[in-house]
Amino acid sequence: MPARPPLKPRLLRLGTRASPLAMAQAHEARDRLCAAHPELEVEIVPVTASGDKILDRPLAELGGKALWTKELDAWLLSGEIDLAVHSLKDVETIRPAEIVIAAILPREDVRDVLVGAASLADLPLGARIGTSAPRRAALALHLRPDCRVVGIRGNVQTRLAKLQAGEADATLLALAGLNRLGMAHFGTPLDPETWLPAPGQGAIAIEARSADAATRDLLAAIDHGPSRAAVMAERALLAALGGNCHSPIAVLTRSVGEDLNLRAALLSPDGAERVDAVATFALTDLDGPARLAAQLLAQAGPAIRAHFDPPGG
């Protein structure tokens, strides 16, 4: 009896943005998926997102986080790709019903890094801090109201080049991205207890079509439970606050046994006002983030509340 030919590996097409950091994240996703399923072949399919094309205006003026996801969403829904990989902090809180976050990879360091000075206190009077992120801008102005925020957008290399060119005196980057690019030596990490991270920061999400049960089953093998629990609580907090890309919100999540501890802050865009709250709740308590959101909004004044639109008012 003739030998059967070897089975052809199943091919999965993994869509990603084309920036160096996005490609590094796509390679990590592919490596983890292939290690869990050696029978798979995963092809990385890069796309240039709208957010990577337009760098001269703040993201919030251009349609928000959808600028990072809309091209990959279209490719995923049309079947041109089977999976899409994202930095989770760049993924809108409300997603199309046809798309599901099927895996969260082990979360990287959540801290921000200050580049251009040893600390915020070391910046000269009136220094220019380059960022287009409302959270970073508000936190910086809260701690250093004498400083001025100037808009800087682009990938890590672009922002560092703009800093080198003198467009700002300092800038802020995610340590997770620097680590993934082998650039951890840049800048000084900021204390996350006072300089709270962005919701979802440091987490890589892999999305699939909701109806594609076979692919979702494959991705379940690389879904990191503790990371998923933390970031989904943060996204639930965002949803309960009605936050958008204009809303300065920061949150630090820690696991405490079988519970989650969330320390969150809301700020006015100019940094003049800040409210903080902390909550600890069981992993199974799906209403915990909403209670924390209600507590924060109850403490907040009009300058903060104007930038949030919680469900039901």
Amino acid, single-letter form, for residue 63: G
Given a cut of 50, whether residue 62 has pLDDT beyond it is no
Instruction: Provide the whole-model pTM.
Output: 0.90
* C-alpha–C-alpha distance, residues 85 and 90, integer Å: 11
Beta carbons within 8 Å of 116's beta carbon, 6+ residues apart: 123, 163, 168, 169, 170, 171, 187
**What local confidence, expressed as pLDDT, does residue 244 receive?**
81
Q: What percent of the chain has pLDDT over 70?
A: 91
Given a cut of 70, whether residue 58 has pLDDT beyond it is no
Q: For the segment 179-205, what is each residue's pLDDT rounded down to a tens digit? A: 999 998 888 999 999 999 999 999 999
Average pLDDT, the chain: 91
**What local confidence, expressed as pLDDT, does residue 68 receive?**
64
Given a cut of 90, whether residue 276 has pLDDT beyond it is yes
Spell out the alpha helix ranges (H) of 79-224: 134-143, 156-164, 175-180, 213-220
Q: CATH homologous superfamily for 234-305?
A: Porphobilinogen deaminase, C-terminal domain (3.30.160.40)
- Assess whether the region 10-105+203-223 and the region 234-305 belong to the same CATH fold: no
Given a cut of 70, whether residue 66 has pLDDT beyond it is no
**What local confidence, expressed as pLDDT, does residue 10 receive?**
84
**What local confidence, expressed as pLDDT, does residue 64 receive?**
45
Higher per-residue confidence, 313 vs 113: 113
* C-alpha–C-alpha distance, residues 120 and 141, integer Å: 10
Boundaries of every domain in the chain: 10-105+203-223, 112-189, 234-305
Average pLDDT of span 269-297: 96
Residues 10-105+203-223, CATH architecture: 3-Layer(aba) Sandwich (3.40)
**What local confidence, expressed as pLDDT, does residue 312 receive?**
79
Amino acid, single-letter form, for residue 222: I
From the list 252, 313, 309, the residue with the least C-alpha distance to 109 is: 252
Q: What percent of the chain has pLDDT over 90?
A: 81
14 phi, psi to nearest 5 deg: -105, 110
Q: Which CATH number is correct for 112-189, 3.30.1330.10, 3.40.640.10, 3.40.1690.10, 3.40.190.10?
A: 3.40.190.10
Whether 223 sits among the annotated catalytic residues: the reply is no
Beta carbons within 8 Å of 37's beta carbon, 6+ residues apart: 218, 221
* C-alpha–C-alpha distance, residues 183 and 28, integer Å: 16
Average pLDDT of span 115-122: 95
Q: Which of 73, 90, 109, 112 is the catalytic position?
A: 90
* C-alpha–C-alpha distance, residues 68 and 90, integer Å: 7
Report the run of H or E that residue 46 belongs to, with start and end. strand 40-47
**What local confidence, expressed as pLDDT, does residue 50 receive?**
55
